[in-house]
Chain A
C-alpha cells in the first residue's frame, strides 16, 4: 500500500478500538495452505480485525501461487493489508531516528548486519544526520542483506522477512498501544522469534523506549496452532495421528508446564511427533513458541 492507503490505515489504528492484529510470516502461510482442507481460514482468522503482511514477506509469498491465492481468499474473513516498508516512516509519525533504532535492534542477532548498519548507514555520524529513510532502507535491502538467486529467477534477500515483521510489530506495539490489544505473529521460524525477543530485551533498556507503554507481541507457531485446533475440536482424535505425520516434523518447542503446587516450569525442548501427541493431551501445558 502506498500514500493514501497508509494514512487510511493510520486513521483506522487511531480509532481507539481494542484491535486484534495478526502479522503473517511466509512459512506459516505455506503451512496453512497444506491444512486448508482440515481447518478453514475463517476458523483461524475471523477473530482478527486485521491481517498484515509486510511487502518483503509478500514478495516471498508470491513465489507460490498457492500461497498467493490463500492470501487473496483471506479477504473474505478479515481486512488484509500489504504494507510497504517505505511506509513504516508514516506509521511512526516521521520519527526517523526511532525507526533507525527499531531496525538496528531487530537485526541485533546478526552481527554482520549490525556491523553493516553502523558502517554503511550510520557511517559514524550522529543519528540525527542519517540519510533520508527511503535512501538508507534501500541501501540496507540491496547491499546489506545477503542474496540468493531462486530457481524462478527472483533474488531472495536473507532475513528480509523476519526483520520487516519484527520492525512492523514493534511499530504497532509502541506507537499504537492505545488502540491495539493483541499483536500476534503467525510464524514457525525460530529466527523471527529470536529477532523479536532480542529487540525486546534491548528496547526495555533503551532510554528512548523503556518507559513507553506498549502492547506485547505474541506468536502462533504451527505447533501452537495444532494445539489450539485439537482443543477446539477442529481436528478430531482419530485423525490427529495422520495429521501430525503429514504436516509436522520434530521441532524445538518453548513451553510452560504447571506443577502440582501450581508453580510453573519453563522448557525449551526438541519434541518429536510421539512426544507432541502426549503434549496435546496434557492440559497443564502452554505452548509459547
Chain B
C-alpha cells in the first residue's frame, strides 16, 4: 500500500486524490460494467469472487504490515491476500489488488514500466478501493445520533466493511472538498493517529458483529487442487501431475499447521 498516512500528510493525500479522481471514477464504472455481470451486491463478496476467478491465494502471514500483493510470473498474475489480518483490511486489500490486477499499467507488461510514479500508483489503488467500498459515508456519519466520534466511526466501519483510517480519509475528503466542515475536519485530525486499541471489544460494546475486526485465517490455494485433479484425470499416464498434487497437499498441511500456531 501507499506511504503511511498520518494526520500530518492527510491534506496532501486529499490533494493527490483530486488529481486522480476522474480517472478512478471512470475505472470504478468500468469495473462494474465489465466484471459484475452476475449483479453481486455485497462489495466484499464481489471483490473476492472476481479475485478467485484469477486464482486468488489466501494465506495467513504473521506480518501486520503485509496485506497482500500481486505475484507476477511471466505473463501470469496471481493475487495473494493475508488472512491473518482483520477482515476489514482484507476487504480493502482485495479492492486495492483488483486495481493492480486489471488497471495497473506497471503490471500490464512483463517488463516493469518505470515511467509510472509508484507512490501515485499506490494512491490510485487505495483510492480505487475506497471508491468501490464507500457510498455516501458523510451523510451516513451524520445520520448517526451517537455523541461519541469514535462510536460513529466504528458504525461506519461496520456498515461499509472498511478499515478505520479508510473511513476517516473518506470523511475527511468530503468534509474538506465538499462541505467545508471544519468541525469534522478537526475531529478527524485529532483522532487520526490514535486508532482505538481494542476494536473487537468496541464492536461488542456497540452490539456489532466483531468478526469484521478479527482475522479469518482462511487457507485457499487458488483452485489449484481442482485444476491439478482435472489434469490428472485427463492424463492418467503422466506421473508428474500426481507428484505436484502431493506437493500441494503437503504445502497446504504445512500452512495449516502454521495457522494453528497463529490462532493460539
Contact = CB atoms under 8 A, between A and B. Distances in A.
B237 A112 contact: no
B240 A251 contact: no
A109 interface: yes
A252 B235 CA distance: 8
A191 B247 contact: no
A190 B247 CA distance: 20
Interface string B238-263: 11100110111000000000000000
Contacts of B235: 190, 252
B240 A159 contact: yes
B237 A252 contact: yes
A110 B228 CA distance: 12
A112 B243 contact: yes
Nearest to A146: B243
A124 interface: no
B244 A194 contact: no
A221 to B, nearest CB: 11
A238 interface: no
A251 B237 contact: yes
Interface in A195-241: 195, 205
Interface residues of B, number: 11
A145 B132 CA distance: 49
A190 B244 contact: no
B237 to A, nearest CB: 5
A110 B244 contact: yes
Which of A111, A191, A195: most chain B Cβ within 10 A?
A111
B203 to A, nearest CB: 41
Contacts of A146: 243
B219 to A, nearest CB: 18
A112 B238 contact: no
Contacts of A195: 240
Nearest to B239: A191
Contacts of B237: 190, 251-252
Which of B74, B235, B240, B246: most chain A Cβ within 10 A?
B240
Contacts of B240: 109-110, 159, 191, 194-195
A112 B239 contact: no
A111 B244 contact: yes
A158 B242 CA distance: 13
Contacts of A115: 247
B79 to A, nearest CB: 20
Nearest to A193: B238
Interface string A164-199: 000000000000000000000000001100110000
A164 B237 CA distance: 20
A111 B247 contact: yes
Interface in B224-244: 235, 237-240, 243-244
Interface in A55-110: 109-110
A194 B240 CA distance: 9
Contacts of A159: 239-240
A255 B59 CA distance: 42
A16 B235 CA distance: 41
B139 to A, nearest CB: 51
A66 B1 CA distance: 65
A246 B237 CA distance: 20
B60 to A, nearest CB: 20
Interface in A25-77: none
Interface in B19-76: 74
Interface string A101-143: 0000000011110010000000000000000000000000000
B243 A110 contact: yes
Contacts of A191: 238-240
Contacts of B247: 110-112, 115
B73 to A, nearest CB: 12
Interface of B: 74, 235, 237-240, 243-244, 246-248
Given A110-B240, A112-B247, 7 more contacts: A109-B244, A110-B247, A111-B248, A112-B244, A158-B243, A194-B238, A252-B235
Interface of A: 109-112, 115, 146, 158-159, 190-191, 194-195, 205, 251-252
29 contacts: A109-B240, A109-B244, A110-B243, A110-B244, A110-B247, A111-B243, A111-B244, A111-B248, A112-B243, A112-B244, A112-B247, A115-B247, A146-B243, A158-B243, A159-B239, A159-B240, A190-B235, A190-B237, A190-B238, A191-B238, A191-B239, A191-B240, A194-B238, A194-B240, A195-B240, A205-B74, A251-B237, A252-B235, A252-B237
